[in-house]
Amino acid sequence: MADSSANHSNYVSGTFSKDGFILRQLVSTDFKLKYRRSILGVVWSVLNPLLMMIVMSVVFSYMFRYNIENYPLYLIIGNITFAFMSDSTNQGMTSIINASSLLKKIKVDRFLFPVQKVLFALVNFAFSFVAVLAVMLWFRVVPTWHFILLPVCLLLLVVFCSGLGLLLSAAAVFFRDVMHLWGVVITAWNYLTPVFWDAQMLVDNHAPWFVLAVVRLNPMYNYIQFMRDIVLWQTVPSFETVALCVVWAVVMIAIGIFVFKKTEHKFILYI
Amino acid sequence: MSEQIATNEQEYAIEVKDVTMVFNMASAKLNSLKEYFIALARRELFFKEFKALKNVSFNVPKGSVVGLVGTNGSGKSTMLKIIAGVLEPTEGECVVRGNIAPLIELGAGFDIELTARENIYLNGALLGYTKTFIDEHIDDIIDFAELHDFMDMPLKNYSSGMVARIAFAIATVTEPDILIVDETLSVGDVFFQEKCMNRIRSFIDTGKVTVLFVSHDINQVENLCQTAVWIEKGVKRMEGPVAEVCEAYRNQ
């Protein structure tokens, strides 16, 4: 039996470090389960975006490549950035429902589950980024000092996705419809975002102003733009892009936290 | 004066103050927007309230062993979940001082795809242990559960008794401040039940661990507890020394 004098050092002091340890455990659980019993394991996280890039490059190269330099690199950055958002929100959305057996038994901070999915998506993003580096090497694109802005971009994206994940996870508890609806929204959002096309084409083809406005304000357009600026174009992102990234992150996390805090005490009755 | 009250309150490990728990039967079934709006249109949304607990109050002093008795559906489990912090009471308040080791539905927080060893870390984190502490005590946990050869096997291949062993071993590897024991020990075999009871008794003997014991088995409650609380149909019927409460419960 443990001696009681040491009793309290056995427990984590402070909720912050307790939650930190729980998050690490949950994310590593996700990681282990995702790659268990697959031969290539984590290599898939690198291969997936590469294969996608190759397929899309072949298909779209005759349509769009004329004005985009290093089109495959353009594609893969857009793809993995968008995938980060769609993975984290898709999984975050069902995270509370899937954690029901846990939530019914142990007192645990509920926001950990949507955040866990965002962090897990971030881990996957890190591996996908290895693919980006490989493509850069292939096209002889040398990284510049602009890479130091990458953590800033990722931080904003993590905050944005966490807000969205909190909102969706709470909504899905009360209305399971959200789960079906979100699939449609993600697909539509993907087409609305210049992942494989160039936003300049809209201007060139005289698209109406509201279409331009929607595309321009689209948060994912701005995060992808930020990412492409520092990795592909190797410039400092415009003030407008950074400002929109920050605003979207702040607005989304505020809405997410507000809705989650308002509703979380009722979750247990619905899961 | 106020200081004295403060010190008195500190002596309670659990304070249940005027707790009422209302379940909304109508809206609990709504899972889609369509159903929600239909119910809203029919004005059925906030009907059919079910009060699982009605103004229940009791205090559990630190280091005491309290039994919670009552028939099926009387609100015992709801009360336990409120104390464990899983449910939030509709009205009233429940104050808990210290770390809780909940032995409710043993193993419900496990991930069956993970191995036992991985589950020990996951569950330990949820119980609030530090990583170093788990590293140091993982052998104790394995020893107590007596499942040395199965540590790296996914939990889905375990029997329910084996899962219960692991869960009990994790939750009780260190002395908690408060131990909540639901009718969970019936899962394991006789020998393991005996072992669990011995460990619970050793906690009780230290005089520092507060134990909340829930059972239908009135003899077990009488054996183990000093005082008891009897809840019936969501109302506290009686509270006092274990012999008196159990006597009244038998003669109801």
Tell me what the mean pLDDT of segment B33-39 comes to. Answer: 74
A221 burial level (CB within 10 Å; 0-12, 13-18, 19+): buried
- Kindly list the residues of chain B whose beta carbon comes within 8 Å of any beta carbon in chain A: 23-24, 28, 31-34, 36, 81, 84-88, 99-100, 102, 104-105, 108-109, 111, 113-114, 118, 121-122, 125-131, 133, 137, 173-175, 202, 206, 208
**Three-state secondary structure string covering A157-217:** HHHHHHHHHHHHHHHHHHCCHHHHHHHHHHHHHHHHCCCCCCHHHHHHCCCCHHHHHHHHH
pLDDT of residue A7: 47
Helix (H) or strand (E) holding B22: strand B12-24
Q: Does A22 touch chain B (CB under 8 A)?
A: yes
Count of beta carbons in the 10 Å neighbourhood of residue A101: 15
- Boundaries of every domain in chain B: 2-250
* 3 state SS of B100: strand
Spatial contact of B60 and B210, defined as CB atoms under 8 Å apart: yes
Residue A266 DSSP label: G
Residue A146 DSSP label: G
* pLDDT tens readout for residues B158-194: 888 888 888 889 988 888 899 988 876 666 788 888 8
- Taking the model in full, what pTM does it have? 0.87
pLDDT of residue A171: 96
Number of A to B CB contacts under 8 A, please give it.
93
pLDDT along chain A (271 residues), means of 10: 48 81 92 85 90 90 73 94 96 94 86 96 95 94 93 97 97 93 96 90 87 93 96 94 97 98 89 81
Q: Does A38 touch chain B (CB under 8 A)?
A: no
**Rounded distance, CA A131 to CA A49, Å?**
7
Bridge partners (DSSP) listed for residue B181: B103, B213
pLDDT of residue B161: 84
Interface with A, mutate which of B30, B50, B111 (most A CBs under 10 A): B111
- The CATH class, in words, for B2-250 is alpha beta
User: Which ranges constitute the DSSP H helices of chain A?
Assistant: 7-10, 15-35, 43-64, 71-93, 95-98, 100-103, 112-138, 150-174, 177-192, 199-204, 209-217, 219-228, 239-263, 267-270
Residue whose tokens read 């028939």: B71
Q: Does A270 touch chain B (CB under 8 A)?
A: yes
Cβ contacts of B174 on chain A, cutoff 8 Å: 2, 7, 10-11
CA atoms within 13 A on the CB side of B238: 18
3-state helix, strand, coil in chain B (%, to 5): 45, 25, 30
pLDDT of residue B76: 86
